[in-house]
């Protein structure tokens, strides 16, 4: 035990003497957590710039314009009476939509000719386009309903009769799980989970590769010949430090008032197995590839698209089968699936068993493969040392 503690102190010194590793391990999660938290702090998109081309210039078109002006998500950037040079302005202004009220609009409505309001959506940004489309439809449908009800009242119906005649049925939407549509609550968990996986990958990729490069591995091999001992030695500093980093990450949810139930035993277990699975992959690459740069580069290839492939934002069912199959080998895919069940759906241990089984399988496979491969390298190195 004394020898293990002595080597453990050396491991900590080697970790903190590597400025790149320290910056990645401690700086990246905190920096990105703060950055992404403030980026999405507004929680919803507002003031999307729109243009209204009012070719009718009537009391009804004025009413529609007023309705758009009070919509929180839309900002009436310009009101004009002819289209002008909107196409030329688009690169600079990037309007979310252009709404055209045609000439004779009010007269056509009064004569039941059903005129058309043209909406040109800017689809360069899908998120903005979807939000703009939803709110434009909401405004126009509200005005349309008001016109229909007003027309029925002019025919002699009471307001309640007109409303019942216009609405053959009612639609009631009950928003569950992030009912406010908070974009921060939607994005932050996935981003932080992917960042922590990437940090663990990159940190663990250096533990053995660095020893191979600078010759320290030979010194370790002289002391102990069992791979399990060396894996435990390398993993222990990170098993002590990672809970601290996860605690810091959890505080971003508190600081930014993200409504997610993350402080519970199932979440702790899920996070623990994400950590172990990520450590297993990172350390396996470190043993397989005895070069720090190459090991980190290859792990970056895996970790960079992990958030996109996880199915957290874009559904896995919509991905090609080959890509979806590859994503199942990435720990954060299963972590985020389980996270959503626990944090937003109010699930329990039974609900996340499928995700836990895969994370445990990844952990067992990677640590077993690492132990076998490392033992082979230890035996080979010891033979070389004895031969010399």
Q: What is the pTM of this model?
A: 0.78
Q: Could you report the per-residue pLDDT of 90-101, keeping only the tens digit for each?
A: 777 788 888 888
Q: What is the mean pLDDT of residues 342-360?
A: 92
Residue 207 sits at the vertex; the CA angle it makes with 202 and 210, to the nearest 5 degrees, is 105
H helix runs in the chain, sequence order: 2-17, 19-22, 28-39, 59-69, 86-93, 105-110, 126-154, 159-166, 183-205, 207-214, 216-223, 227-255, 265-288, 292-303, 306-309, 321-327, 331-343, 353-387
Residues 10 and 157: beta-carbon distance below 8 Å: no
**pLDDT over 90 at 172, yes or no:** no
Q: Could you report the per-residue pLDDT of 226-248, keeping only the tens digit for each?
A: 889 889 988 999 999 999 999 99
Alpha-carbon distance 286 to 299, whole Å?
10
Most confident of 113-122, 128-137, 208-217, 233-242: 233-242
**pLDDT over 80 at 124, yes or no:** no
Q: Could you report the per-residue pLDDT of 50-65, keeping only the tens digit for each?
A: 999 999 888 888 998 9
Structure-token pair, residue 386: 């004895």
In terms of Cβ atoms closer than 10 Å to its own Cβ (0-12, 13-18, 19+), residue 113 is exposed
**Does the structural domain 48-166 have CATH classification 3.40.1710.10?**
yes
* Domain spans of the chain, in order of start: 2-40+181-387, 48-166
Q: At 169, is the pLDDT very low, low, confident or very high (cuts 50, 70, 90)?
A: very low
Q: At 171, is the pLDDT very low, low, confident or very high (cuts 50, 70, 90)?
A: low
CA torsion, points 195, 197, 200, 204, in degrees to nearest 10? -130
Widest CA span in the chain: 108
Alpha-carbon distance 118 to 68, whole Å?
15
Q: Worst-scoring range by mean pLDDT, 116-130, 147-161, 220-234?
A: 147-161
Residue burial 30-45, b: 16+ Cβ < 10 Å; e: rest: eebbeebbeebeebeb
**pLDDT over 90 at 373, yes or no:** yes
């Amino acid at each position: 035990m004394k020898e293990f503690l002595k080597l453990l102190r050396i491991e900590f010194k080697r970790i903190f003497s590597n400025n790149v590793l320290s910056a990645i391990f401690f700086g990246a999660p905190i920096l990105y957590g703060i950055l992404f938290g403030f980026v999405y702090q507004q929680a919803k998109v507002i003031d999307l710039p729109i243009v209204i081309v009012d070719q009718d210039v009537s009391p009804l078109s004025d009413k529609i314009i007023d309705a758009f002006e009070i919509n929180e998500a839309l900002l009436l950037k310009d009101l004009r009476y002819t289209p002008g040079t909107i196409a030329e302005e688009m690169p600079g202004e990037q309007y979310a939509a252009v709404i055209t009220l045609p000439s004779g609009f009010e007269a056509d409505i009064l004569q039941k000719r059903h005129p058309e309001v043209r909406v040109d959506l800017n689809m360069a940004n899908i998120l903005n386009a979807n939000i703009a489309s939803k709110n434009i439809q909401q405004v126009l449908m509200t005005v349309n309903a008001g016109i229909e009800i007003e027309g029925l009242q002019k025919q002699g119906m009471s307001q309640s009769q007109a409303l019942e005649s216009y609405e053959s049925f009612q639609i009631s939407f009950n928003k569950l799980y992030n009912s406010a549509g908070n974009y921060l609550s939607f994005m932050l968990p996935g981003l932080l989970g992917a960042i922590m996986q990437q940090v663990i990958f990159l940190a663990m990729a250096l533990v053995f590769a660095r020893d191979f490069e600078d010759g320290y591995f030979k010194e370790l091999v002289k002391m102990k010949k069992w791979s399990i001992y060396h894996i435990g030695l390398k993993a222990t500093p990170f098993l002590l430090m990672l809970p601290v980093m996860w605690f810091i990450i959890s505080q971003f949810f508190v600081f930014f008032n993200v409504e997610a139930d993350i402080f519970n035993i199932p979440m702790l277990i899920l996070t623990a197995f994400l950590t172990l699975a990520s450590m297993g992959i990172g350390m396996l690459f470190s043993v397989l590839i005895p070069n720090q740069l190459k090991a980190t580069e290859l792990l970056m290839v895996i970790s960079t698209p992990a958030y996109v492939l996880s199915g957290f934002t874009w559904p896995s069912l919509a991905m090609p089968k080959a890509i979806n199959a590859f994503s199942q080998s990435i720990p954060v895919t299963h972590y985020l699936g389980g996270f959503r069940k626990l944090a937003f759906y109010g699930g329990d241990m039974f609900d996340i068993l499928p995700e836990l089984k895969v994370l445990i399988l990844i952990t067992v496979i990677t640590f077993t493969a690492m132990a076998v491969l490392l033992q082979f390298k230890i035996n080979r190195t010891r033979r070389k040392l004895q031969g010399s």
